[in-house]
Amino acid sequence: MFKLNSIHFLDYLHKHNTVVYPYKSLIFSFNDKLVHQSKHNFIPPNNAKPFLTNFIVFPKFLNAEFFEEDKIKIKRIIQKGHDCYGIILENNIKDVDVFLKTSLPGAFRSNLNRLKKRLEMCFSIKYTMYCGSIKKDEYDYIMNSLIEMQVKRLNHQKIDNHLLNKYENYKKIAFSLINEKKASLFVIYNNTVPIGITLNFILDKVYFGEITTFDMNYSKFGIGNLLIYKQLSWCIHNNFEYFDMGNGEYEYKKKWCNHHYLIETHIIYSKNSLVARFASIFCEYLVKLKNVLKRINFHLAYKKAQKIFKGSKEEKSLQQIKYEFHKLESGVNQTKEIKKENFQDPKYDYLKKVIFDFLYLYKEHFQNVVLYSISNKSHTFILEGENHMVKCIILE
- DSSP states along 136-195: HHHHHHHHHHHHHHHHHHHHHTT---TTHHHHHHHHHHHHHHHHTTSEEEEEEEETTEEE
Strands 242-247 and 84-88: antiparallel
Helix, strand, coil percentages for the chain (3-state, nearest 5):
40, 30, 30
**Preceding omega of 346 cis (within 30 degrees of 0):** no
Region 275-304: what's the mean pLDDT? 72
> What 3-state DSSP class applies to 23?
strand
> What 3-state DSSP class applies to 91?
coil
Rounded to an integer, what distance in angstroms lies between the CA atom of residue 125 and that of residue 121? 9
Q: Which pLDDT tens digit goes with each residue over 254-286?
A: 899 999 999 999 999 888 888 888 888 888 788
Region 319-345: what's the mean pLDDT? 82
Question: How far, CA to CA in Å, does 198 sit from each of 6, 165, 227?
Answer: 28, 17, 8
Q: 363 φ, ψ to 5°?
A: 55, 45
**Is residue 330 very low, low, confident or very high in pLDDT (cuts 50, 70, 90)?**
confident
Decide if pLDDT at 312 tops 50: no
Strands 34-37 and 84-88: unpaired
Q: Which pLDDT tens digit goes with each residue over 74-97?
A: 999 998 878 899 999 988 888 999
Nearest to 66 by CA among 101, 34, 106, 38: 38
Q: 215 φ, ψ to 5°?
A: -70, 120
Domain ranges of the chain: 3-82+262-305, 84-253, 321-395
How many Å from the N-terminal Cα to the C-terminal Cα in the chain?
Answer: 65
Q: What is the pLDDT of residue 311?
A: 53
Q: Which residues pair with 59 in a beta bridge?
A: 263
Q: Would you list the DSSP string of 277-294? A: HHHHHHHHHHHHHHHHHH
Decide if pLDDT at 299 tops 60: no
Whole-structure pTM value: 0.89
Rounded to an integer, what distance in angstroms lies between the CA atom of residue 266 and that of residue 193? 42
Long-range contacts of 351-356, Cβ-Cβ distance < 8 Å, separation of 24 or more: 351/321, 351/381, 351/394, 352/217, 352/317, 353/216, 353/217, 353/219, 353/321, 354/321, 354/323, 354/392, 354/394, 355/383, 356/122, 356/217, 356/218, 356/220, 356/221
Decide if pLDDT at 19 tops 90: yes
Decide if pLDDT at 63 tops 90: yes
Q: Would you list the DSSP string of 102-135? A: HHS-HHHHHHHHHHHHHHHHHS-EEEEEESS---
Rounded to an integer, what distance in angstroms lies between the CA atom of residue 259 and that of residue 88? 7
Q: Could you give the dihedral angle defined by the CA atoms of residues 350, 351, 352 and 353, in that order, rounded to the nearest 10 degrees?
A: 90
Decide if pLDDT at 206 tops 80: yes
Highest mean pLDDT among 58-72, 178-192, 209-223, 295-309: 178-192
Rounded to an integer, what distance in angstroms lies between the CA atom of residue 263 and that of residue 265? 7
Rounded to an integer, what distance in angstroms lies between the CA atom of residue 168 and that of residue 333? 49
Contacts of residue 247, defined as CB under 8 A and 6 or more positions apart, other chains included, come to 82, 83, 84, 85, 263
**Is residue 314 very low, low, confident or very high in pLDDT (cuts 50, 70, 90)?**
very low
Q: Which residues pair with 36 in a beta bridge?
A: 26
Question: How far, CA to CA in Å, does 70 sit from each of 34, 65, 95, 177, 197?
Answer: 22, 12, 45, 35, 45
Strands 72-78 and 263-270: antiparallel
Q: What is the pLDDT of residue 80?
A: 81
CATH architecture designation of domain 84-253: 3-Layer(aba) Sandwich (3.40)
| 317 vs 52, more confident | 52
Q: 255 φ, ψ to 5°?
A: -70, -40
Decide if pLDDT at 313 tops 50: no
CA 61 to chain centre: 19
